[in-house]
Amino acid sequence: MKRTKYFVLGAAIIGAVVLSVGFGPPVDTDFFFKINKGIDIFGRVYKEISLNYVDEVDPEKFMQAGIKGMLGTLDPYTVFIDKEDGDEVEMLTNGRYGGIGVTIGARDGSVQVISVMDGHAAQRAGIIPGDKIIEIDGTKVADKNSNEVRSYMRGEPGTEVKILIQREGENKPILFVVVREDIRVKNVTYAEFIGNGIAYVRLERFSRKAGDELRQSLKELKLKGEIKGLVLDLRGNPGGLLDAAVDVVSKFVTKGNLIVSTKGRRPESEKQYNSVEEPLLPDVPLIVLVNRSSASASEIVAGAIQDLDRGIVVGTRSFGKGLVQTIVPLNYGAQLKVTTARYYIPSGRSIQEIDYMHKDRNGVFATVPDSLKRAFKTKGGRTVYEYGGITPDSSVTETDPGPMVRELFRKSLFFRFANTYFSARKTAEFTGVNESVMKEFRKYLDDQKFDYKEESDGKVNELRQIAERSHYSKEVLADLDLLSAALEKEKNRGFDRYRNHIERELNIEMMARVKGEAGRIAASLKGDSQLDVALALLKNGKANPHKIKG
């Protein structure tokens, strides 16, 4: 059920009410007849196949395949969640799970520790990023995927888990015995002043405590100094609870303001959510950063701030998910996450991008063309449009690091170099990437025989083949050879051409080893083009929605 797990962890807004009974609008007798008829036929087919098919069928997997098939005709957020995936729902809603506090992922054909949470069991035990996981409680994990390995690590707080790892620079595997604990995942992962009175807060998810964490972060920042401007970073935030989004917006807008409303087929799905508290920062200039990975609850926050003219949105257009999900408990510990409503931000517009109930002749889901999108007005009279996510007030395209840097990421070479570098050194000695580190990294790439493809690779050969078929002169062919040689020479200068991007990404990975996730985020803010624009707007007094034409 890879699809189920993906969407449980992905962009989702879960309503505050959890239904424990059936759902749907009032229906007539014919509709009930169709439902009962469908149940009867489905049950008969399921039973006949399970009992009489020529090969033995696993009844549980067969049933899940049937459920998956039915739900596959709807939107991707309506999913069946079996008992084994219940902890993912707990993490999404309450931001907590039983585990040791590590992030793992596939690297170089093995499952490795990507990051370690500060102050939790794994860090106290001495597990570090780059550790390759060999066994968990005696079970070899070489043929397991990351999700399976993650499930082995999680469990009831207070229970032990034995993890055998291979560490670079160590001849023999190391056995760690770690006691699982209650892991609370942070919503606010970084909050600090980054300029003259300008505060920066990164909000990475919307579990139940998101508003409380934001309140605490803002109070702590106030103790450090006067907040003259604030950047709220929602980039890469896939969303979470609708109530949490309302709570976050309430920290900035006047009490009583409508933040979001919902409407579905049932009358009780029609709700309005207003700010119910006095804001912590009612007048401080505010900028919200978004990108294509900002979805769901993130879009409620960005959209409400935009529609209420409380601040401005900077970045790229957001994902466009305007659907509300509700968790319905089922028998045997299973759950159903079902889309029950659409949400509408203060201007009255929906930001849903895709119409999942309609496809074109090629099987592609329908979207509303720009020419048919209705215009709405913000509180101050600016024009905004429905559908297709939140369009920033100031659009800033994310910087493309180039094909060489993308290939370095794909092959995990920043990560692997950090493993090698720190296996022979103490992290406390590292203060940042300098010329010496860059030279060492370049030598490391040479030793790894690193290569990559430029966009021009192969294009000259294609052009030469066309020239030969078209009987071009020898002079033209010779010029193409010269061009090919010149492009190859330029490719060999890739390290120098992409140096700034390489140095930035390498520094982010290295500082993560020295100062954890806070170090990674702090390093990533340097050279961030979207953040630079936001800072410029705040410093120049232009972070005012009333000065934006629309």
* pLDDT band (50, 70, 90) for residue 27: low
Q: Same structural domain for residues 158 and 302?
A: no
Hey, what amino acid is at 175?
A: L
Rounded Cα distance between 516 and 282, Å, is 33
CATH number of 273's domain: 3.90.226.10
Rounded Cα distance between 354 and 404, Å, is 34
Q: Same structural domain for residues 111 and 134?
A: yes
Inside any domain, residue 538? no
Which residue among 355, 372, 398 closes a domain? Answer: 398
Q: Same structural domain for residues 361 and 380?
A: yes
Inside any domain, residue 118? yes
| Res 107: pLDDT | 86
Q: Same structural domain for residues 281 and 223?
A: yes
Q: Same structural domain for residues 160 and 270?
A: no
Report the mean per-residue pLDDT for the chain: 91
Structure tokens at 362: 């090629």
Rounded Cα distance between 209 and 241, Å, is 10
| Res 19: pLDDT | 33
| Res 90: pLDDT | 80
Per-residue pLDDT tens digits for 183-228: 999 999 999 999 899 999 999 999 999 999 999 999 999 999 999 9
Alpha-carbon distances of 460 from 278, 404, 451, 455, rounded to whole Å: 64, 19, 18, 11
| Res 127: pLDDT | 95
In 3D space, the residue among 357, 346, 315 whose CA is nearest the CA of residue 72 turns out to be 357
Phi, psi of 525 (to 5 degrees): -75, -20
Higher-confidence residue: 459 or 530?
Answer: 530
Inside any domain, residue 129? yes
* pLDDT band (50, 70, 90) for residue 549: low
Q: Same structural domain for residues 259 and 312?
A: yes
Residue range 273-296: mean pLDDT, rounded = 96
Please tell me the total count of domains within the chain.
Answer: 5
Rounded Cα distance between 217 and 539, Å, is 22
Please tell me which of 20-29, 138-147, 359-368 the model is most confident about, judged by mean pLDDT.
Answer: 138-147
Question: Is the pLDDT reported for residue 394 higher than 50?
Answer: yes
Tell me if residue 175 falls in helix, strand or coil.
strand
Q: Same structural domain for residues 290 and 388?
A: yes
In 3D space, the residue among 242, 348, 259, 253 whose CA is nearest the CA of residue 295 turns out to be 242
Characterise 55 by phi-psi region: left (phi > 0), alpha (psi -120 to 50), beta (else). beta
| Res 550: pLDDT | 56
In 3D space, the residue among 421, 445, 420 whose CA is nearest the CA of residue 434 turns out to be 421
Rounded Cα distance between 522 and 517, Å, is 9
Inside any domain, residue 514? yes
Q: What is the largest CA-CA distance in the chain?
A: 82
Residue range 316-342: mean pLDDT, rounded = 95
Rounded Cα distance between 41 and 46, Å, is 9
CB-based contact 488:460 (threshold 8 Å)? no
Inside any domain, residue 488? yes
**What is the DSSP secondary structure assignment for residue 164, as one 8-state letter?**
E
Given 250, 294, 296, 350, which residue is catalytic? 296
* pLDDT band (50, 70, 90) for residue 16: very low
Long-range contacts for 429-432 (Cβ within 8 Å, ≥24 apart)? 430/510, 430/511, 430/513, 430/514, 432/507, 432/510, 432/511
What is the pTM for the complete model shown?
Answer: 0.88
Question: Is the pLDDT reported for residue 10 higher than 80?
Answer: no
Inside any domain, residue 280? yes
* pLDDT band (50, 70, 90) for residue 424: confident
Q: Same structural domain for residues 243 and 364?
A: yes
Q: Same structural domain for residues 19 and 131?
A: no
Q: Same structural domain for residues 239 and 362?
A: yes
Q: Same structural domain for residues 54 and 132?
A: no
Catalytic residue flag (residue 132): no
Inside any domain, residue 546? no
Given 307, 309, 393, 528, which residue is catalytic? 307
| Res 18: pLDDT | 36
| Res 23: pLDDT | 47
* pLDDT band (50, 70, 90) for residue 17: very low
Higher-confidence residue: 3 or 171?
Answer: 171
Which residue among 354, 375, 398 closes a domain? Answer: 398
| Residue entry with tokens 């720190």 | 422
Inside any domain, residue 194? no
Catalytic residue flag (residue 307): yes
Catalytic residue flag (residue 296): yes
CATH number of 111's domain: 2.30.42.10
Tell me if residue 102 falls in helix, strand or coil.
strand
Given 321, 337, 347, 393, which residue is catalytic? 321
Per-residue pLDDT tens digits for 443-502: 999 999 999 988 888 788 889 899 999 999 999 999 998 998 898 888 889 999 999 999
Which residue among 62, 91, 120 closes a domain? Answer: 91
Residue range 509-519: mean pLDDT, rounded = 93
Residue range 125-140: mean pLDDT, rounded = 95
Q: Same structural domain for residues 233 and 266?
A: yes
Domain that holds residue 510: 403-452+498-531
